[in-house]
Structure 1
Amino acid sequence: MGEEVEQQEFSRADRTQHREKVRRNLDVFARMLREARFDTDDPMTGLEVELNLVDENGDPALKNAEVLEAIASPEFQTELGQFNIEINVAPATLREGGLTTFEESLRRSLNDAEEKASRSGAHQVMIGILPTLDEGHMEVNSLSSNPRYKLLSEQILSARGEDITINITGRDRLSTTADSIVPEAACTSTQFHVQTSPDDFADYWNASQAIAGVQLAVAANSPYLLGKELWRETRIPLFEQATDTRSDELKVQGVRPRVWFGERWVTSVFDLFEENVRYFPALLPITDDEDPLEVLESGGTPNLPELRLHNGTIYRWNRPVYDIAGGVPHLRVENRLLAAGPTVADTIANAAFYFGLVRFLAESERPLWSQMSFSAAEENFHVAAQQGIDAQIYWPGIGQVRATELVVRRLLPMAAEGLDSWGVEASVRDRLLGIIEQRCLLGTNGAEWFVNRMHQRGSEDRFDALRATLLEYRERMHTNEPAHTWD
């Protein structure tokens, strides 16, 4: 969820000073791009997974501080809600068994954390939205104790000038309000990171945008919120609405939302950072003492703290990241649109599909994004979020096509070739992409399994059925058998 900050108030002068410093950061960043000062030799990939905590009955357990103390591992960090934690898996190169390393490391860490967390009466669940959340969990006292979250909530509500409204219609309809950003905490995701050179960044970002709808369709895992059956990936509209700083009037005026798919294909990573500075006022105008130009001209690597903090408060589904490792700067695409779970095997299969497909498309002679409009990619994204594995999406040269058919017939071979380019072993490639293939052939992902089980329970009390189904889900999650095999 980003760097920790202290609780504070901001004056008009703070905001003016911060704006000037962010623009100075942006100028230095542009110079660094021109002078090719980035690590590009051996691209790394990374993985983060956000988790929910539940008690023995399947209800939310607001115990993340207690659980993190018991786990006592730097891999695990706090998240926005007290019923959330996050695990950051160490980066790896795919050519050196990175996918296997991710899978083994994630399983080992989660098993160890589950054993320790259970002593506190809390259990981990990998699912996009915890289906047993109710209105009582959507209050400000559910925020984690990190001052960043309270401060961010205050700034978003202040910028908005009124309570947050949530309106989502699926099979059921949800209409509610919130006086904090706690509804955002309901959204737990998996984030894939792929490092790239400045020259290749635009291709990787554009490719990530173009396949976002396909990713969502095959991996949807968030069908319930506050007892309502909504979109197959309800995280998407919920996150878009829960952090919206715009009043209705500003929406009508065309002001951009902070949770943003974007509005165009890009030609440089600079385009994205420049848009962030040009379109969005700072939510956390905290100014550091670093003089980035002085650091750069003395041979050092500037941290660009204001630019990075600002970038962290603009929630693109594919986010550009500037970071430093071992004193050397690098760039990453952070693919952050998928839900967590259902299992580690499903998660790593999703990673293999993304890493392979995005590389194939980024290195294609005729870019996919030169054959489709940006608005078509955005429409695919929201249609897939709403319909999940049954989604019909647009694809160049085909027109409207069922996402699962597109994946099986066209995209899996592309992803396989991309994984070969990364240097992934054939046996690992085939096993992980085989999970995606079977998911498509059987028409079953996490969301579809959960909804089907709920419908089978018939006329039971909705929350009793959600608890029972979630406990069954958690039990099967620990088998690490992919969700399409559960029935």
Structure 2
Amino acid sequence: MGQVLDRTTFTRRDRQRYRIKVQRCLDALEELLNTYPFPDVEPMTGVEIEFNLVDPELAPSLNGHDVLDTINSTEFQTELGRWNLELNLPPRPLPGEQWRQLEHELLDLLAGAGAKAGDLRTQLVMIGILPSLDAGHMVAESISPEDRYQALNDQMLSARGEPIRIDIAGSGPGERVSGDFDTIIPEAACTSMQLHLQVAPGDFGRYWNAAQCLAGVQLGLGANSPFLMGSQLWAETRIPLFEQSCDVRTPEFHNQGVRPRVWFGERWIDSVLDLFSENARYFPALMPLTTETDPIAQMREQGFPDLPELTLHNGTIWRWNRPIYDSTGEAPHVRLENRVLPAGPTTVDMVANALFFYGLLRTLVESDQELWRSVSFEAARENFHTAARHGMDAPLYWPGTGWLNPDELTLRKLLPLAHEGLARWGVGGAVCDRYLTVLERRCVTRQTGAAWQVDTVAALQERGMDRASALHGMLERYLAQSAANQPVHAWELPG
């Protein structure tokens, strides 16, 4: 939800008009999907990466606006927290050498942005949760000053009617974060990599179902968020933290089964319309801004509608695999936004994670045996949360193989499927080998970003450091090795 707001308070009439307008958008979308001649296009992808900013002491730096002004690039944007920035890379096709070029482009962008941030004594960090965050940063003053963030905070707190409750327990004694927060600022602790894939509307249901099947595997292989506010919690603590920090339900509504706004979902789908229809049926408006444009009349005039109310509403419902409708340019399209993975640890790791995902998607979608017909939706959801908690040690259910940890499942079954899918996309053989080998070695060593962080902190504590000092020492080493762009499986632990 990155658009500029013209106001931040809303009336009952605003909400009523907005609901009617969202339904009108749904009617227009249904007609569009049934009648519009969507052309065959080259598969386009997109990447968004969220960053943390740290000061010379490696504490969160709240100078995001100053850093953004210094970087002076339209590709970087603000985020909810003052210690965050987001990078939006231009869309690009999948085939050929594009993703090798993306790695170089991203390294160049980060080097340039990092140098300019350095002039302000600030560093950029690609990590799922910044381990130096503490309760003193989780205050209203840490929210970025733009109206859209302030309005989102106000509307979510108003909908909930009481403070945001965060309660996440780790596996060890005393490893727990529990408390009430008067803003949604804990959400800003979660920094991710978001992958986009434009697909033909008629194929969207299969792509979304396949992505849901893969979410647990993605987390098991890519976990990078084990610490929050000094405690060791889940391998990917970002998952429960984001779910809780955006939960506008009171405990009573939770007990009644009201759906959360950060949502894995509850069923396999047939069409992209299924997801947008669920959004309209289940979730009240947070930001009920309406335009004067009638989407059906607009479709008659220009051939397709913009659907601003539908897209704004969709932007306030944070599915881990989210549908996107966009009409930018000369034609409309739909795309899948995969929000499962954390940022980092390195550029090469993130590109490897992305291509593994895209390759597997293609193979699963085109398989004669649709994977999601052989596994319950509940099993896919359980895989997702089990992997978030346990990372590489998570037992995941996969049809035909039973229960396997992510590394064994990937080595035995998924890597060949990813190779096959990337070849079908037309990705160059050398590109496939470079990045899928990174995944292979990560599985062999069983060293994810989360595993390295946990092992490094443990090693430093064994030397006599307290937890705070060990986290600081770990983050120092993390920054150095991340900047070197050596994949995380090759990172050394303290001797």
TM-score category by the smaller chain?
over 0.9
Tell me the CA shift for residue 37 of structure 1: 4.3
Per-residue CA deviations over 1:83-107 (Å, capped at 9, x if unaligned) read 0000011111111422112212111
Please state if 1:230 is matched with 2:233. yes
- Residue 105 of structure 2 is matched in structure 1 by 105
Tell me the CA shift for residue 145 of structure 1: 1.4
- Residue 218 of structure 1 is matched in structure 2 by 221
Contact 1:40–1:330, Cα closer than 8 Å, also in 2:
no
Distance 1:335 1:471 in 2: 30
- Residue 240 of structure 1 is matched in structure 2 by 243
* 3-state SS of 2:332 partner: strand
Amino acid at match of 2:470: A
Distance 1:461 1:4 in 2: 45
Please state if 1:324 is matched with 2:332. no
Distance 2:349 2:320 in 1: 20
- Residue 472 of structure 1 is matched in structure 2 by 477
Q: Among 179, 183, 192, which residue is 2:182 paired with? A: 179
- Residue 394 of structure 2 is matched in structure 1 by 391
Amino acid at match of 1:430: D
Amino acid at match of 2:72: A
Contact 1:53–1:123, Cα closer than 8 Å, also in 2:
yes
Per-residue CA deviations over 1:178-225 (Å, capped at 9, x if unaligned) read 111100000000001011001110011000000100000000000000
Tell me the CA shift for residue 324 of structure 1: 2.1
For structure 1, the 5+ residue unaligned runs are none
- Residue 251 of structure 1 is matched in structure 2 by 254
Distance 2:40 2:473 in 1: 49
Contact 2:394–2:405, Cα closer than 8 Å, also in 1:
yes
Distance 1:94 1:177 in 2: 44
Per-residue CA deviations over 1:335-366 (Å, capped at 9, x if unaligned) read 00100000000000001100100111011111
* 3-state SS of 2:420 partner: helix
Distance 1:99 1:4 in 2: 32
Distance 1:168 1:286 in 2: 34
Distance 1:109-1:39 versus aligned 2 partners, 3 A rule: farther
Tell me the CA shift for residue 325 of structure 1: 3.2
Provide the alpha-carbon RMSD of the alignment: 1.0
Please state if 1:460 is matched with 2:460. no
Q: Among 207, 211, 217, which residue is 1:208 paired with? A: 211
Tell me the CA shift for residue 301 of structure 1: 3.0
Q: Among 449, 452, 461, which residue is 2:452 paired with? A: 449
* 3-state SS of 1:82 partner: coil
- Residue 124 of structure 1 is matched in structure 2 by 124
* 3-state SS of 2:119 partner: helix
Tell me the CA shift for residue 398 of structure 1: 1.5
Please state if 1:403 is matched with 2:406. yes
- Residue 337 of structure 1 is matched in structure 2 by 340
- Residue 486 of structure 1 is matched in structure 2 by 491
**TM-score normalised over the length of structure 1:** 0.99
Distance 1:467 1:79 in 2: 24
Amino acid at match of 1:267: D
Distance 2:49 2:28 in 1: 32
Per-residue CA deviations over 1:285-304 (Å, capped at 9, x if unaligned) read 01112111111111343211
- Residue 13 of structure 2 is matched in structure 1 by 13
Amino acid at match of 1:208: A
- Residue 278 of structure 1 is matched in structure 2 by 281
Distance 1:31 1:325 in 2: 19
- Residue 200 of structure 2 is matched in structure 1 by 197
Contact 2:96–2:428, Cα closer than 8 Å, also in 1:
no
Distance 2:191 2:302 in 1: 40
Contact 2:8–2:148, Cα closer than 8 Å, also in 1:
no
| 263-272 vs 97-106, greater mean Cα deviation | 97-106
Distance 1:479 1:39 in 2: 42
Distance 1:96-1:427 versus aligned 2 partners, 3 A rule: closer
Tell me the CA shift for residue 43 of structure 1: 1.9
Per-residue CA deviations over 1:86-142 (Å, capped at 9, x if unaligned) read 001111111142211221211111111000011111110000000100001100110
Contact 1:318–1:333, Cα closer than 8 Å, also in 2:
yes
- Residue 31 of structure 2 is matched in structure 1 by 31
* 3-state SS of 1:325 partner: coil
Tell me the CA shift for residue 38 of structure 1: 3.4
Moved over 6 A (4+): none
Distance 1:382 1:8 in 2: 35
Contact 2:235–2:389, Cα closer than 8 Å, also in 1:
yes
Distance 2:82 2:73 in 1: 18
Amino acid at match of 1:49: I
- Residue 85 of structure 1 is matched in structure 2 by 85
Distance 1:112 1:40 in 2: 37
Please state if 1:265 is matched with 2:257. no
Q: Among 430, 433, 441, which residue is 1:427 paired with? A: 430
| 6-15 vs 432-441, greater mean Cα deviation | 6-15
Tell me the CA shift for residue 464 of structure 1: 2.0
